[in-house]
Chains A and B, each alone.
Chain A
Amino acid sequence: MANSEAKTARAEWGTRFGFLMAMVGAMVGAGNIWRFPFVMGDNGGGAFIVAFLVLLFVLAVPGLMAEVALGRYTNKGIVGAFRDVTGRGGMVGFGVVVLMVNIALMSYYSPVIGWTLYYAVHSLLFTFTAPGFEAGAFMDDMFENGLLVVGLHTVVMAAIAGVLALGIREGVERIVVYAVPALVISLVVMTVRGLTLPGASEGLAFTFGIQWEYLTYSDTWIAALGQALFSTGLGWGIAMTIGSYLREYDDVPLGGGVFTAIGESSVGILAALAIFPIVFAVGAEPNAGPGLAFVSLVQVFPEIPLGGLVGILFFVGFFLATFTSGLLITEVGVTTVAEETRFDRTQTVLGVCGGIWLLGIPSAYDVAILDYLDFVFANWGLPLATLMIIGIIGWVMGPKRLRLLAVNQNAGIYVGRWWDPVIKYVIPAVMIFIMGYFAYDNFGTAEMYGGMAVLVGFPIIGYVLMSLVSRRDARSEATKVPGGDD
């Protein structure tokens, strides 16, 4: 019974700053560092910024407000929040879909955190500035050494388990209040170093040059849409989980919506300012993905004064960015499982982290599996999770009721009626469009079949599972009814 007593007192963020850093720390990840700068420069620079900004305010800001508000309103994890809105039954299983997507996402994200850890350690050993160092060969060696990445994945999941076991306030909050500012400071120092290099203006011109015609290209808007939705982590259950630990008088829309969406995007802008002036100054390739961080930038460090120290700043900052995201992605599962079972937090952390570790071994061992899963979940799994969360808010609870009861209560800014149709129609329509667009664009490929399996299989599994749980609960409740004298 000690467990049930402990569960009656729900944790809360200790400070407002802790909550804000948790939101930004969760959303700023690898994509901000190795994807955003290149996508921006490759899609019309300033034109992309305009498209991105519009989509942030139209979709990401209202969507995050809704997700955080539902978490605060129910004070529960994903499954509990879905149950509060839909009532008992199979529909709660759509919350299980969000949980499954999160666990799958973390299973292949943990090896990515492992890569950044490996590079952070080597930056501290000044490996990248040692004579005869070959950046391409070093990266290939890491990817080909499956056992090494499995080991890194193990270290990462153990570290995450260690932090999460300490709890929300003593574990997660203590890390993020230092890690997020440290990431920003490291990028600022890199920016100053980069901008003072000869030839840095080429990088600025690539990133911030304006090609207005790009606003007429559908590819620019698709890229901006992907960045606005996936970079902000909208609808993955993270914002809802973080919001569920808010205190009674905390605001939702200003901190959970505006600050989170714009703040985490600002880190992407800063990353562009930090990385591309340096990359262009030495004539390296302005890549996207691991090639930018692990090859182009690594080639740059020996070429610039104080390159070894800049390398440490970059890779330690990069590791912190991915690690804090990993912490909060895993917290989604921990919060929900702890609430839905009789296990205490420590047991739940061990179970969830152990499960993710086990599921992540194939992705850690073979980067092709990781790439496949990343493609499938980025294009279909995550939009499906978003559709589930925004769907129950928009179509079951009703956006107006949530806005009146939770969004505008104790709010730092007033959210008006314009918000309701965005939640009910616009975001779900965009999610359906994204899934359809990528299915059309990848028609007949193994990735598309994987995506379709997720789209069909996950909701069926979730629905059947929660129907069975609901039936079992109803039976056990029926047996608890005291009998009469006869």
Chain B
Amino acid sequence: MALTGPVLGMLAFTLLTFWGIASWALVRTLRQEGRKVELLEHQDRIDTYSPQALAELREWVEDNPDDPLADQARRQYNECVDVLEETDRHFYDWSREEIESLDRL
């Protein structure tokens, strides 16, 4: 069997897909770690949720106020809101308007 175009194409696709995604994930997560460390050295606390994730958490707490884990969810939500309001640098992409629109649960 010779090396045909499809074989080389599949080889390139496989390498790009697997090693490409693995390398992207490794670099991204290590960079994020570096950013978190930098923020923690600067201000001791960092925001723990992205805008989308925090909105979903709030929605769940409002829909399930009597859930056994609702108190914990509320605590985590409020903690993130407090950090966002008390710090000037954030890990996630929060705009000033988004932060101002937040209120504790």
Spell out A's residues near B (CB within 8 Å): 16-17, 20, 45-46, 49, 53, 201-202, 204-206, 208-210, 249-251, 254-255, 258-259, 262-263, 265-266, 269-270, 400-401, 404-405, 408-412, 414
Query: Which single member of B30, B52, B73 contacts A17 (CB below 8 Å)?
Result: B30
Return 6 A-B CB contacts under 8 Å, by A number. Answer: A20-B26, A49-B13, A209-B7, A210-B10, A404-B53, A409-B76
CB pair A408 B50 closer than 8 Å: yes
Taking CB as reference atom, which chain B residue is nearest A202? B1
CA distance A45 to B13 in the complex (A): 12
Nearest CB in chain A: distance from B85 CB, A: 18
Task: Identify the closest chain B residue to A272 (Cβ).
Answer: B14
Of the candidates A20, A249, A409, the one whose C-beta lies within 8 Å of that of B40 is A249
7 more A-B residue pairs beyond the given contacts A20-B26, A209-B1, A254-B29, with a C-beta to C-beta distance below 8 A: A49-B14, A206-B1, A263-B22, A263-B25, A269-B19, A408-B53, A409-B76
When C-beta atoms are compared, the residue in chain A nearest to B68 turns out to be A401
In the complex, what distance in Å separates the CA atom of A208 from the CA atom of B9? 9
Report yes or no: B21 in contact with A258, Cβ–Cβ below 8 A: yes
Binary A-proximity of B49-61 (CB < 8 A = 1, otherwise 0)? 1101100110010
| Neighbour of B18 across the interface among A17, A45, A208, A266, CB < 8 A | A266
What residues of chain A lie closer than 8 Å to B17, measured between beta carbons?
53
Neighbouring B residues of A20 by C-beta, 8 Å: 26, 29
Question: Which chain A positions have C-beta within 8 A of B3?
Answer: 201, 204-205
Q: With A16-B29, A201-B3 as given contacts, are A400 and B60 in contact (CB-CB < 8 Å)?
A: yes
CB atoms of B7 and A204 under 8 A apart: yes
Contact of A46 among B10, B29, B60 (CB under 8 A): B10
CA of A53 to CA of B20, assembled, Å: 13
Q: Does B105 contact A (CB under 8 A)?
A: no
Contact A409 to B25, CB < 8 A, known contacts A204-B3, A205-B3: no
Determine the residue in chain B with the shortest Cβ distance to A201.
B3
The yes or no answer to B28 lying at the interface (CB within 8 A) is: yes
Residue of A nearest to B64 (CB): A401
Q: Is the CB of B50 within 8 A of A269?
A: no
Q: Is the CB of B11 within 8 A of A208?
A: yes
CA distance A280 to B11 in the complex (A): 17
> B32 at interface (Cβ–Cβ under 8 A)?
yes
The chain B residues found within 8 Å of chain A, CB to CB, are: 1-4, 6-7, 10-11, 13-15, 17-19, 21-22, 25-26, 28-30, 32-33, 36, 40, 46, 48-50, 52-53, 56-57, 60, 67, 69, 72-73, 76
Set of chain A residues within 8 Å of B19, measured between Cβ atoms: 266, 269-270
Q: Report the separation of the CA atoms of residues A20 and B25 in the bound assembly, to the nearest whole angstrom.
A: 10
Docked complex Cα distance between A254 and B19 (Å):
15
Q: A259-B22, A400-B60, A414-B50 are in contact. Are A405 and B28 (CB under 8 A)?
A: no
A462 to B66, CA, bound (A): 32
> How far does the alpha carbon of A405 sit from the alpha carbon of B48 in the complex, in Å?
11
Known: A202-B1, A400-B60, A411-B53. A405 touches B26 (CB 8 A): no
Contact A45 B76, beta carbon cutoff 8 Å: no
Whether B22 and A408, one on each chain, are in contact in the complex, defined by CB atoms closer than 8 angstroms, is: no
Query: Across the two chains, which residue of chain B brings its CB closest to A270?
Result: B19
Asked, given contacts A17-B30, A249-B36, A254-B25, whether A269 binds B18 with beta carbons under 8 Å apart, the answer is: yes
Quote the shortest CB–CB distance from A269 to chain B (angstroms): 5
CB distance from A366 to the nearest CB of B (A): 38
Bound-complex Cα distance A473 to B45 (A): 39
Q: Which residues of A contact B52 (CB under 8 A)?
A: 414
Max count, chain B CB within 10 A of own CB: residue among A250, A266, A411: A266
* Chain A residues whose CB sits within 8 angstroms of the CB of B53 once the complex forms: 404, 408-409, 411, 414
Please name the residue on chain B nearest to A248 by beta carbon: B48
Q: Is the CB of B6 within 8 A of A204?
A: no
**With known contacts A255-B29, A269-B15, A411–B7 Cβ distance under 8 A:** no
Residues of A within 8 A of B28 (CB): 254, 412
Alpha-carbon gap, A258 to B50, bound state (A): 18
In angstroms, Cα B32 to Cα A258, docked, is 15
Complex CA–CA separation, A270 to B25 (angstroms): 18
Q: Are B48 and A205 in contact (CB under 8 A)?
A: no
CA distance A250 to B46 in the complex (A): 12
Q: Which listed residue (B10, B32, B57) contacts A404, Cβ 8 A?
A: B57
B7 and A210 within 8 A (CB): yes
- State in angstroms the CA–CA spacing of A410 and B21 once bound together: 21
CB atoms of B46 and A205 under 8 A apart: no
What's the least CB distance linking B3 to chain A, in Å?
Answer: 4
> In whole angstroms, how far apart are the Cα atoms of A285 and B26 in the complex?
36
Q: List 8 tightest A-B contacts by C-beta distance, closest first.
A: A205-B1, A46-B10, A259-B25, A408-B53, A16-B33, A263-B22, A266-B18, A201-B3
